[in-house]
Amino acid sequence: MTLDLRKFVRATNPANTLFVDDREEDHKYYIDFSSVRGGQIISRILDNIALWSPDERTCQLFTGHIGCGKSTELLRLKEQLEQEGFHVIYFESSQDLEMGDVDVGDILLAIARRVSQSLDAIQVEKKPTKLQSILQGAEKLLNMDIEISGEFKTPVGTLAANTDGEISLDMGIANISAKAKGSPEVRSKLRGYLEPRTNGIIEAINTELLEPGIQKLKDLGKQGLVVIVDNLDKVDSSPKAWGRPQQEYLFVDRGEQLRSLDCHVVYTIPLALRFSNDFSTLTQRFMTNPEVLPMVSVKLRNGSEHIEGMHLLRQMVLARGFPDLEPEQRLENIGDIFDSAETLDRLCRASGGHVRNLLRLLNEAIKKQRGLPISGETLEAVIRAYRNERVLAVDEHEWTLLKKVAEQKKVAGDEGYQTLIRSMFVYEYRDEEGSWFDINPILAESERF
C-alpha cells in the first residue's frame, strides 16, 4: 500500500493534539489505551458529572506527565459530555496566561472570557455590570482606551468594535489579558488591582455569567455547563516573590477559590503536586483526589514485556500511516515504515510508553532517514542523540535517586523526587495493584546509570 510520506510526517508531529471531538481523521488516529493505563479514567470524570451530579456543581482535577495525552483525553471527555447533553467549554489556558507567572485572578478572568464568548454564541442576555465595573477599573489602571459592554456586540472570534466603540465582554478581557501576558510590569499592576477583588470577581462570574447562562442552556434542552481548563499542568514551579512555589500557591493556597465557580469545572494540575508535602491539603481544598493519566505500559513490574501495551503502541504508530486499515491489516504493512518489526518494537520500548516522546523519536527518524522505511541504524542514532541530551540534565544526587526508583519502583514525596517527576526522568505506570514507577528507559540505557 502506498504511503503519503508528507502526510505521515504531519500525522507524527509531536506538537499536534488529536482533536477527536471534531476531526474525522484524528478519530482514526486515536488508540484507546485505557486497558493498559489502569482503567477508564475519563469515564470516571464523565460519571461524576453526567451520572452522579448533573444538576450540581463539581470541581475535578486531572494530571499526568506533560505529553502523555491529557489534552486528547480531555477532548474525548468534551465529546462524550456533549453527547450526554452538556454544553462544554474547553480551552488551553496557556493561550491566555503567562505560565511562568500566574495568579488566581488571571485564571478567573480567562474562564470568564471563554464563558462570555461561548454564551454570546448562543445569544444569552447577560448584564455583567459588576464584571464590567471591575474591568473598567483595570482599563484605567493600565491606561487602555476601550469601553467594555456586557451585551452581545460582535460575532464570536472577531476583534472588531461596534460603531459606538464598544467591544464585547470577552474581547475586553482578551485585550487586558494580552497586555498583561506580554509585560511583567503590567501583570504586577493588574494583580495589585485584582487581588483584593478576587471574591467579588467570583461572585460576579457566578451571578452575571454562569447563572443566566446555565438557565438559558437548560431552556434550550441542555443538561448544564462544563468548563474544561487545560494546560494548567504547565504552570511553572518557580517561587513567587515571597518564596512560595507557584504550583502550591495556586492549587493549595488558592484552591478553595478555584473550586468556587457555580458550574462543573475540570482543571489540569501539575503532576509534581502529587508528591508535594501539601498534597493532602490540596485534596481537602478541592474535596477530591486528582485523576492521573499514567504512561502506556510497555513492561510489567517484574521487567517482562507488557504484551497488550506493546500491541497498542504499535497500532498507534501504524494508524498514523494507515488510518483506514483494520488493525491486523496495518501489521502487514510494517515494512512500508520500518526495515523490520524489531525496529518498530525498539521505538515503542525506548519511548517508555510516553506518547509524545514516541512521536518525537519517530518524526525525527523519518526526517533523518529522509524517507521510508526507517532503518534500525537511523533509529538508534536518533535515540542516542536524545539520550545524550537528557543525560546532561541529570546531576549526581538525581542519579542516586534514579537508582532507588529503578530498584524499588517507588517515588517518595520530597523535593528531589518532585524534580525527577517534573523533568520526566521517572515515569508512572498503573496496574491492578496500583501505581508503580520506573526510570525513563532512555536514561536507563546511559553509561552513567
Query: CA torsion, points 122, 108, 421, 282, in degrees to nearest 10?
Result: -110
Contacts 24+ apart (CB under 8 A), 272-275: 272/237, 272/247, 272/418, 272/421, 272/422, 273/63, 273/247, 273/248, 274/63, 274/421, 275/411, 275/412, 275/413, 275/414, 275/417, 275/418, 275/421
pLDDT of the chain, 449 residues: tens digit per residue: 689 999 999 999 999 999 987 788 999 999 999 999 988 999 999 999 999 999 999 999 999 999 999 999 999 999 999 999 999 999 999 999 999 999 999 999 999 999 999 999 888 888 889 999 999 899 888 875 445 555 433 333 333 344 344 568 888 899 899 989 989 999 999 999 999 999 999 999 999 999 999 999 999 999 999 999 999 999 999 999 999 999 999 999 999 999 999 999 999 999 999 999 999 999 999 999 999 999 999 999 999 999 999 999 999 999 999 999 999 999 999 999 999 999 999 999 999 999 999 999 999 999 999 999 999 999 999 999 999 999 999 999 999 999 999 999 999 877 788 889 989 999 999 999 999 999 999 999 999 88
For the residues of 153-173, what is the DSSP string, one character each? -S-TT-----TTSEE-HHHHH
- Placement of cell 521505538 in the chain: 347
CB 263 within 8 A of CB 224: yes
**Minimal CA–CA distance to 217: which of 316, 43, 89?**
89
Query: CA torsion, points 232, 13, 118, 283, in degrees to nearest 10?
Result: -20
Q: Determine the Cα–Cα distance for residues 308 and 170; give it in Å rounded to an integer.
A: 46
Q: Determine the Cα–Cα distance for residues 106 and 187; give it in Å rounded to an integer.
A: 9
Query: Which ranges of 392-440 does DSSP label H, i.e. alpha helix?
Result: 396-408, 415-422
CB 270 within 8 A of CB 292: no
* Cell output for 219: 431552556
Count the Cβ atoms, other than its own, within 10 Å of residue 389.
Answer: 10
Rg (CA), the chain: 24
**Minimal CA–CA distance to 194: which of 128, 102, 266?**
102
Q: Determine the Cα–Cα distance for residues 198 and 108; give it in Å rounded to an integer.
A: 9
Q: Across the strands, what pairs with 429?
A: 436
Cis peptide before 196, with omega less than 30 degrees from 0?
Answer: no
Count the Cβ atoms, other than its own, within 10 Å of residue 393.
Answer: 11
At residue 392, φ and ψ (nearest 5 deg) are -60, -25
* Helices (H) then strands (E): counts for the chain: 21, 9
**Minimal CA–CA distance to 135: which of 193, 78, 90, 92?**
193
Query: What pTM, to 2 d.p., does this model score?
Result: 0.92
In the chain, domain spans: 1-17+296-449, 39-293
Q: Determine the Cα–Cα distance for residues 99 and 91; give it in Å rounded to an integer.
A: 15
